[in-house]
Amino acid sequence: MSVHLVNPSDNAFGTAVITPRWLFVLAAATPRTAGDPILVDESIEQIDPASIQPGDIVGISVHTGNALRGYEVGRLAHERGAFVIYGGIHATLFPEEAFERGHAHAVVKGDGDIAWGQVVTDILSGATLQKIYDGGRIEGSQFLAARWDLMPRDKYMWASVQTIRGCPKHCSFCSVWRTDGQKPRQRQFQSVIDEIVNLRRIGFRFIALADDNFYPVTLTDLRLAREQNNTAKLEELTAIRKERFQLMAELAKLPRDMVFFTQITMEAGEDGECLDAMRKANIKGALVGVEAVTPEGLKAVFKDFNYSGEALARQLQTFKQHGVHVLGSFIFGLPTDKPSTFDATVDMALKAGVTFAQFVMMTPFPGTVDFARWEKEQSVAPTLVGDVPITRYWLIPTATRPKMFTPHPTMSSGEISERTQKVWDRFYNWSAIWQRSACTPNLRARVAFMFLSKLYRQMYAGTGISTDSARRKKSKSWARWTARQCRKLFQAAPMPELQSPIWELEFASPGRRPAFLPNSPAPSPFTITSN
């Protein structure tokens, strides 16, 4: 009997940019008695059905974008006689769909760090399998460290390490605050550092901090708690902030060639102390959700804590002045958008000096306020594509899936798509990239920057931005080639001698830590428990 964990994807590039963290966390959550799981990341290569034997356990993660492929994988695993288990955000929100479409035996809702072990144990012991396992929201101290020893090291450019889950905000297009909660759940910084040390030892120096919001406590939050004389709140917020700074202080002690990237709200731009700590910690870049450049646009997405106009440009420039590069994320297709919004947005992105930018089309993701509103509107006179209601767009085959799902009051989806394409082309033309690449320290890094910019732009072509399939096909083969070259640029010499700090703290819930590099000289600070 083998355990397989599958990250479904329609697009295999042979090389992937960022490791899908869930795969390696669930590998750590797999009971030792089941042996090492077989990990399949279909963004690298699709699964070989013949590898699945009767009685095997197949765990599949689905988010909305890959649900259709996930169900296909589930059906073929079921046909081969395997136990099929789903998890991930989409399965959490639509468990019944995994049974109807994906031949599930069981679904894990919420966090899998603990629940997955229970599922596998139940199967191994022949116990009756529950239909739903509710993993809920575990505490930060219970987050498992990933099993990077099972990662094919030559296939990924960046590893991903999570330091916090949940976000106190409530943006209308985002499901994080509803699924992961508004209470930030911080992982003990010692456990984070330990995992990063392990990654550097095996040759990874680029690490994405797979956090919803790296900056969960703003200066405004602290001021309000103080003004309201809310001592309990103030203490809680101060403790969260202190832990963030402790993490950054430890990151700063790691080898100087390490590069971290995270996701953060724009409010961090007001907090020079935080930005300086980030720079010292080698957090060289952050995705900042700018979303819209007008006050009306920001109001439409419940993000009025963001700035617009000149103040926005200044706020984003502040990040750069403190040595933190910004990947600005902008949304097109908001009801408040006009034809002039597209040029205004790219002008702002260029003026604010963001190092990278992404321009995504408004998509009502399940679990969001936008989705609930849309579903309610659609319940009156449902729009169908074939026999699928548009509110279940992820079930529409990709070839016939519309580019936009919610109608815009004044522009057609074709117009929005075309204008968005032009914005990408303008931001990522060679001359603009060349100018931005001046931020790099040497020629090698400059070349890497240029390739990465083009790769970033090109990889989006497969996700609905590009309009015709011929262009998509060409983009894909170009992206495959470039991804291979880029990966070489991200490689680093392993540092097996690198030591983990010895922590005084006993972890409240020690992660089962994989035996990384068996002959490694660095002792594990974790207590290794067996199942």
To the nearest 10°, the Cα dihedral for 160, 165, 171, 173? 50
Nearer to ligand B12, 98 or 313 (CB): 98
Whether the CB-CB separation of 210 and 161 falls below 8 Å is answered with yes
Long-range contacts: 350-353, Cβ < 8 Å, 24+? 350/427, 350/432, 351/313, 352/312, 352/313, 352/316, 352/317, 352/326, 352/328, 353/316, 353/317, 353/320, 353/326
As a whole number of angstroms, the distance between CA 58 and CA 73 comes to 9
Residues 194-213: x where in contact with ligand B12 by CB under 6 A, - otherwise, as a string: ----------------x-x-
Nearer to ligand SF4, 373 or 488 (CB): 373
Taking phi over 0 as left and psi of -120 to 50 as alpha, with beta for the rest, 103 belongs to left
Q: Which residue has the tokens 């200066």?
A: 219
* Beta bridge pairs of residue 328: 288, 357
As a whole number of angstroms, the distance between CA 126 and CA 300 comes to 51
**For 5-125, where are the alpha helices, taking DSSP H only?**
21-29, 67-79, 89-93, 95-102, 112-125
169, 201, 476, 512: which one binds ligand SF4 (CB under 6 A): 169
Q: How far is the CB of 241 from ligand SF4 (least distance, A)?
A: 17
177 touches ligand SF4 (CB under 6 A) = yes
Q: How far is the CB of 368 from ligand SF4 (least distance, A)?
A: 9
180 touches ligand B12 (CB under 6 A) = yes
Classified as helix, coil or strand, 393 is helix
Q: Which of residues 210-229 bind ligand B12 (CB under 6 A)?
A: 210, 212
What stretches of 265-307 adopt beta strand conformation (E)?
Answer: 283-291
What are the C-alpha distances in Å from 165 to residues 168, 217, 438? Answer: 10, 13, 34
Number of helices and strands (H, E) in the chain? Answer: 18, 17
Q: Which of residues 84-113 bind ligand B12 (CB under 6 A)?
A: 85-90, 108, 111-113
| From ligand SF4, ligand B12, none, interface partner of 411 (C-beta below 5 to 8 A by class) | none
120, 176, 248, 298: which one binds ligand SF4 (CB under 6 A): 176
As a whole number of angstroms, the distance between CA 293 and CA 295 comes to 7
Q: How far is the CB of 305 from ligand SF4 (least distance, A)?
A: 9
Q: Which stretch binds ligand SF4 (CB under 6 A): 11-19, 174-182, 419-427, 445-453?
A: 174-182
As a whole number of angstroms, the distance between CA 485 and CA 185 comes to 37
370 touches ligand B12 (CB under 6 A) = no
Q: How far is the CB of 2 from ligand SF4 (least distance, A)?
A: 36
6, 151, 167, 362: which one binds ligand SF4 (CB under 6 A): 167
How many C-beta neighbours within 10 Å does residue 175 have? 21
Nearer to ligand SF4, 371 or 449 (CB): 371
Nearer to ligand B12, 286 or 313 (CB): 286
Long-range contacts: 301-308, Cβ < 8 Å, 24+? 301/171, 301/172, 301/173, 301/331, 301/334, 302/170, 302/171, 302/172, 302/369, 303/169, 303/171, 303/172, 305/169, 305/220, 305/265, 305/266, 305/267, 306/265, 306/266, 307/266
| From ligand B12, ligand SF4, none, interface partner of 22 (C-beta below 5 to 8 A by class) | ligand B12
Q: Which stretch binds ligand B12 (CB under 6 A): 360-368, 401-409, 424-432, 509-517?
A: 360-368
175 touches ligand B12 (CB under 6 A) = yes
Instruction: Select the residue whose beta carbon is closest to ligand B12 and give its number.
Output: 87
Nearer to ligand SF4, 215 or 449 (CB): 215
Convert 475-489 to b/e letters by CB count within 10 Å (16 or more is b): bbeebeebbeebbee
| From ligand B12, ligand SF4, none, interface partner of 180 (C-beta below 5 to 8 A by class) | ligand B12
Q: Which of residues 212-251 bind ligand SF4 (CB under 6 A)?
A: 212-213
37, 366, 510, 511: which one binds ligand B12 (CB under 6 A): 366
Q: Which stretch binds ligand B12 (CB under 6 A): 56-64, 291-299, 446-454, 491-499?
A: 56-64
Residues 140-169: x where in contact with ligand B12 by CB under 6 A, - otherwise, as a string: --------------------x-x--x----
Residues 285-324: x where in contact with ligand B12 by CB under 6 A, - otherwise, as a string: ----------------------------------------
In this structure, what token pair is assigned to residue 422?
A: 């032009």
β pairing state of 384-385 and 388-389: antiparallel
Q: Which stretch binds ligand B12 (CB under 6 A): 80-88, 238-246, 264-272, 274-282?
A: 80-88
Residues 261-300: x where in contact with ligand SF4 by CB under 6 A, - otherwise, as a string: ----x-----------------------x-----------
| From ligand SF4, ligand B12, none, interface partner of 169 (C-beta below 5 to 8 A by class) | ligand SF4
Of how many residues is the chain composed?
A: 531
The gap between the terminal CA atoms of the chain, to the nearest Å, is 17
Binding footprint of ligand B12 on the chain (CB under 6 A): 18, 20-22, 25-26, 59-61, 63-65, 85-90, 108, 111-113, 116, 160, 162, 165, 174-176, 180, 210, 212, 360, 365-366
Binding footprint of ligand SF4 on the chain (CB under 6 A): 167, 169-171, 174, 176-177, 212-213, 265, 289
